Amino acid sequence: MNNENWYKLETSALIYPAIISPRQPSVFRLSCTFQKEIDPEILQIALNVTINRYPGFAMTLKRGAFWFYFEEMEKTPTLHPEQNYPCQMVDPETEGGFLFRVTWFQNRVNLEVFHVISDGTGGMEFLKTLVYYYLLLSGEDVKPGENVRTLGCKPTSEERENSFLRYYDPQIPSDRADDSVALHYHGTQFPLGHSRAIHVRTKTAPLLELSRKYGVTITEYLTAQFMRSFFDVMKDMTDSDKPVKISVPINLRKMFASDTVRNFTYFVNIGKPLSNADEPIEDTLQYIKKELRAVCTRDALVPRLNPNVSSEKNPFLRAAPLSIKQLVLREAHHILGDNLFTASLSNLGIVRLDESMHKHIRNFDFGLSCSDSIPLNLSLLTWDDTAYMTFSSNVEERDVERTFVRKLSSDGLAVQVWTSEKEKGGSDENLS
């Protein structure tokens, strides 16, 4: 086999082929809503250009004797009109072999990515390039600036590297951190293939001012309010002493020199038991601030990154047939994955584009898939002067979302709410 046409899955991606199913799709969605309706023919051409800039996305998943691996494809992905609910499983057989899909609806383009090839940061790089070429090919006077990767700057080897291996240090003892089982939220599940997105937006300046008043970051403030929303909803449902734990993804590129567009994220699980439900918000905030910042240093992170690389390098696991590895990885995910948190809150940060592109774009959105054991997640990003938050859910109940919105409103934030049904012609939701 030609080594230039295939390569290994990076360390954190090894788990995804073992756990993927329609009930656990491991997909995230990034969307851009333009000011004008989309011309799908131009968008398809822009997609053809963009895939040539990101060879790591022009891959299909192959099954080997010992590991899954990626193999390059020479064909281009096909654009589809949006028809299904967000973040459904990406099936390579229906996507021409690709591990992502691009869809459109009216003036919105969606990029849905199977986590095996990239994380939210890498996916946003792809979407920004797609948006740029779409506007350029539409005849708009736009410039890429320093925030869009174009064909004029060829992909580097670092963009495709496994940065987990780069920063693995076998001399540093491994640390699995907290492995306590979390309390899980349950509800009336939607039929398979059905999901709901509730979108919440608020101006960034008041949100930042409020967070600073508490002495925390926006991520820390929203994590606290998300955790406390579960407290309020679940404290009368169970007397369990298990903690409500929020999983917060950390973009490792900010602490380690890396330009990879593959996965390079670490998940910090932060929790408190329901017995803390009535504590002042200041106590919750200070706890989250302390726990999150204690982890977000290079010295604290390297020991926590080591275990996954050590497992990958384990000679007994390496020699085991792929079918055995899949069983081991599936069980490890059950014990060390979904069992350890109640829900996730993922903040992708600020979307930065050249000023020439701003007037053509209404907003960006970021959503996550759910699973049977994790039926509700919260994700957000910032575009211009607004924070766009998305609750992704596969259960009918909206109590946590409603409580969260009320908490933001009672803290003085002006909040707007609408649902995925609204996007299909429904009405605004009154959750506050």
Amino acid code (one letter) for 151: L
Please identify, among 166, 186, 218, the residue that sits at the C-terminal boundary of a domain.
Answer: 166
Q: Do 211 and 127 share a structural domain?
A: no
Sign of CA dihedral 250, 341, 224, 175: negative
Give the CATH number of the domain where residue 141 resides. 3.30.559.10
Q: Do 36 and 97 share a structural domain?
A: yes
| Full domain range(s) for residue 63 | 3-166
Let me know if residue 178 belongs to a domain: no
What integer pLDDT is reported at residue 430 of this predicted model?
52
Question: Measured between alpha carbons, how far is 49 from 149 in angstroms, rounded to an integer?
Answer: 12
Nearest to 423 by CA among 184, 99, 198: 198
What integer pLDDT is reported at residue 239 of this predicted model?
75
Q: Do 236 and 144 share a structural domain?
A: no
Q: Tokens 């996507």 belong to which residue?
A: 95
Give the CATH number of the domain where residue 201 resides. 3.30.559.30
Q: Do 112 and 223 share a structural domain?
A: no
What integer pLDDT is reported at residue 423 of this predicted model?
43
Q: Do 234 and 111 share a structural domain?
A: no
Q: Do 327 and 251 share a structural domain?
A: yes
Let me know if residue 280 belongs to a domain: yes
Nearest to 382 by CA among 366, 393, 359: 366
Amino acid code (one letter) for 307: P
What integer pLDDT is reported at residue 2 of this predicted model?
45
- List, in sequence order, every residue forming a beta bridge with 419; answer none if it has no partner: 198
What integer pLDDT is reported at residue 4 of this predicted model?
58
Q: Do 146 and 204 share a structural domain?
A: no
Q: Do 138 and 37 share a structural domain?
A: yes
Q: Do 125 and 25 share a structural domain?
A: yes
What integer pLDDT is reported at residue 431 of this predicted model?
57
What integer pLDDT is reported at residue 1 of this predicted model?
40
Q: Do 317 and 277 share a structural domain?
A: yes
Let me know if residue 298 belongs to a domain: yes
3-state SS, one letter per residue, for the chain: CCHHHEEECCHHHHHHHHHCECCECCEEEEEEEECCCCCHHHHHHHHHHHHHHCCCCCEEEEECCCCEEEEECCCCCCCEECCCCCCCCCCCCCCCCCCEEEEEECCEEEEEEECCCCCHHHHHHHHHHHHHHHHHHCCCCCCCCCCCCCCCCCCCHHHHCCHHHHCCCCCCCCCCCCCCCCCCCCCCECCCCCCEEEEEEEEHHHHHHHHHHHCCCHHHHHHHHHHHHHHHHHCCCCCCCCEEEEEEEEEHHHCCCCCCCCCCEEEEEEEEEHHHCCCCHHHHHHHHHHHHHHHCCHHHHHHHHHHHHHHHHCHHHHHCCHHHHHHHHHHHHHHHCHHHCCEEEEEEEECCCCHHHHCCEEEEEEEECCCCCCCEEEEEEEECCEEEEEEEECECCCHHHHHHHHHHHHCCCCCEEEEHHHHCCCCCCCCC
Let me know if residue 128 belongs to a domain: yes
Q: Tokens 């459904």 belong to which residue?
A: 88
Let me know if residue 291 belongs to a domain: yes
Let me know if residue 274 belongs to a domain: yes
What lies within 8 Å, CB to CB, of 69 at 6+ separation is: 6, 7, 8, 9, 61, 62
Please identify, among 147, 166, 185, the residue that sits at the C-terminal boundary of a domain.
Answer: 166
Q: What is the pTM of this model?
A: 0.94
For the chain (432 residues), the mean pLDDT of every run of 10, in chain order, is 70 89 95 98 98 96 88 94 95 94 98 97 98 98 97 93 92 78 95 95 98 98 98 86 95 95 95 93 98 94 84 72 81 80 98 98 98 96 98 97 98 93 44 51
Let me know if residue 180 belongs to a domain: no
Q: Which two tokens stand for residue 182?
A: 């979390």
Q: Do 99 and 205 share a structural domain?
A: no
Q: Do 152 and 61 share a structural domain?
A: yes
Number of domains in the chain: 2
Question: Measured between alpha carbons, how far is 33 from 112 in angstroms, rounded to an integer?
Answer: 15
Q: What is the layout of strands, in order, in the sheet containing 361-368?
A: 80-81, 100-105, 108-114, 27-34, 361-368
What lies within 8 Å, CB to CB, of 27 at 6+ separation is: 87, 88, 89, 90, 112, 113, 114, 115, 369
What integer pLDDT is reported at residue 385 of this predicted model?
96
Let me know if residue 181 belongs to a domain: no
What integer pLDDT is reported at residue 424 of this predicted model?
42
Please identify, among 128, 149, 166, the residue that sits at the C-terminal boundary of a domain.
Answer: 166
